[in-house]
Amino acid sequence: MELLETEIQNRLSHNTDEYRRLTDRHREYESQLEQIANRRPFTQQDWFEESVVKKQKLQVKDRLERLERPDEAAEA
């Protein structure tokens, strides 16, 4: 199953601009979260920013997963 998912991801990343754009954005959000987590002292503003970035990252992940499902990718 994992091999099939990897194959689908590779095919999508080579054939779909949206998938590539979303994976790049997902990596950017991960990088932002790492930077926020390393801030000291951790302020209320940092907590808020972390919350917003996590939600954005989750939205991108959900979209990527929808694109990876062949039955729903055609509908999107």
- Per-residue pLDDT 10s for the chain (76 aa) are 565 677 766 666 656 888 899 999 999 999 999 999 999 999 999 999 999 999 999 999 999 988 888 665 455 5
The CA-atom distances, in angstroms, between 38 and each of 14, 48, 54, 69 are 34, 15, 15, 35
The C-alpha torsion from 9 through 22 and 62 to 58, rounded to 10°, is: 130
pLDDT on residue 6: 75
pLDDT on residue 16: 83
Q: Are 16 and 67 in contact (CB under 8 A)?
A: yes
pLDDT on residue 73: 47
pTM of the predicted model as reported, rounded to 2 decimal places: 0.73
